Amino acid sequence: MNTKYYYNYRRNEEELNEEIIFCSNNSEDSDHYGNIQRIFKATQKTLDVTEESEYAKDLFDHFSVFMAEEGEEFASLSNEEIEKNINPVNIVESAGAWDNIEFINYLYGNTTFFNRYDGIITTDGAIFFEVTKDNLVSCKNL
């Protein structure tokens, strides 16, 4: 099995402490964000939302409940638009639902999602929720 790598760039050490880490699968897509390069890889705890699974459906269902209860800006989204918000097609341009702090707080407060997963794989990258010895491959100044 080939290991896929996901790239994240930051300007300084403080930015390395972010809670949600957006990564592109192309090392050049986000290198304008800084000269500290982190390379990640998926682990057994990383959910691939690009493939149909009960877990990806569970995340879709959580987002649907969030929309109905708290997410006014998402209230009129179709199922296809919900999927695009959960699995953004261009992670560097927009992280969809993952840019919405209310959705993140909803998942933290109402589900066990962040206990079960260290991140998700998207169409063109990944989003990691924590840095671990298993998912961080390297961190270096370029």
Residue-wise pLDDT for 72-82, tens only, equals 666 677 888 88
Q: Which two tokens stand for residue 127?
A: 């989003």
User: How many whole angstroms separate alpha carbon 105 and alpha carbon 142?
Assistant: 34
Among 7-11, 23-27, 87-91, which stretch is predicted with the lowest mean pLDDT? Answer: 87-91
| pLDDT of the residue at 66 | 84
Residue-wise pLDDT for 77-112, tens only, equals 788 888 888 888 888 888 888 988 888 999 999 999
Q: Measured between alpha carbons, how far is residue 65 from residues 19, 59, 84, 138 in Å?
A: 23, 10, 16, 37
